[in-house]
Amino acid sequence: MRCLLEGYLFKKPRTSCMAAQQHFFHESMWSILAIGLAMSASTAMACTRILWNTNGVLTVAGRTMDWAESTEPKLHVFPRGMHRDGGRVGPIDIGDKNPLTWTSRYGSVVVSAYGLASVDGLNEKGLAMHLLFLTATDYGPRNPEKAGLQAGLWGQYLLDNAASVEEALQRMKDVQPIMVEHAGFKSSLHLAIEDASGDSAIIEYVDGQPKIYHGSEHQVVTNDPPYDQQLLELKKWDFANATRQTPLPGNVNPIDRFVRAHYFLKTLRKPEGEREAIATTLSLARNASVPFNAPYKTPGTIYDTEYRTVANLDARRFFFELTTSPNVIWVNLEDLDLSSGSPALTLDPDDIHLSGNVNKDFTPVAEPPF
């Protein structure tokens, strides 16, 4: 959610257990994010989603999460049968007159940000979602005939209710994301989704209208500019007969990362199995990542990649790599009890001792964060 929380001006260390940091969140987050996700419409940082659906072995999707300070990411496992309210951000009712409410049909594993939203995740049917920031986002005037869904739960709604990209797109027809705002910060988001068949879609709201790019060819997306402009930029490059002397854009702005991820995606060979496919996708995500303390738009401002995720959509396995930890961890959804009535589970990945399969490291929670 770093790439979601644009314009958030406070820089703090990444060690989540520090007492001062805990005090900061408990005392300050709701004053700054009282109605929603703190995102500025005037600035935009980095995220990259990469879908490898052409290898003939399995469908794999990866993403980077980039921001100027820790988003306090947590992993959550949500069972079926959970009741949700799209008119609330945590305990705050946003006052919508026709909020979307639902009960989840499918279980999922997600990454949360600040305990307010799920920004990345995979469900038990092999549908994955990734929320990224988009400066140009405009959900349009509130249409009371459509159910309202605060943007931070957009991806969770689809994980809860759709088994495929096609079904997810159908479910969005009667729903309108809501731009939540507080103190000038806006939830300007677009959404990338993909399923185990390799189908893909990028959903944006620009000039008040939904823009949907549906098809397996939509493999890479970054946060800015709108996706149609990203595709136009790609046409400027010819990577035929590429070698290591082929010039590539090398900075960390969204267009450079978009072109670079596309280039290396086209060079991949068929993996021998899941281990190689996951490692390969992580290598592309790392190449599109932002180094620690990289310069941002103005001198003296910095940001970097906080974490990376990779999802094996065929085996329902979700991998997570915190950039301050040397270990990759993963969740096997098929080995978890996702039946209705089972407890929601949570895990703080900021633990250097975690490594490999972490199914048994999750703990039940009495009250899910959303």
DSSP code, position 191: E
Query: Taking Cα atoms as reference points, which of 318, 348, 346 lies closest to residue 334?
Result: 318
With 0-12 CB in 10 A as exposed, 13-18 as middle and 19+ as buried, what is 324?
middle
Query: DSSP H helical segments within the chain, as ranges?
Result: 19-32, 154-161, 165-171, 227-234, 254-265, 274-287
Taking the CB of residue 5, how many other CB atoms lie within 10 A of it? 26
Which tokens sit at 360? 């048994």
User: How far is Cα 135 from Cα 3, in angstroms, rounded to an integer?
Assistant: 11
17 is a catalytic site residue: no
User: How far is Cα 62 from Cα 309, in angstroms, rounded to an integer?
Assistant: 5
Catalytic pick from 47, 261, 288, 329?
47
Which tokens sit at 356? 């490999």
Residue 307 DSSP SS3: strand
User: How far is Cα 142 from Cα 148, in angstroms, rounded to an integer?
Assistant: 8
Query: Taking Cα atoms as reference points, which of 118, 153, 2 lies closest to residue 68?
Result: 2
Instruction: Give me the active site residues, please.
Output: 47
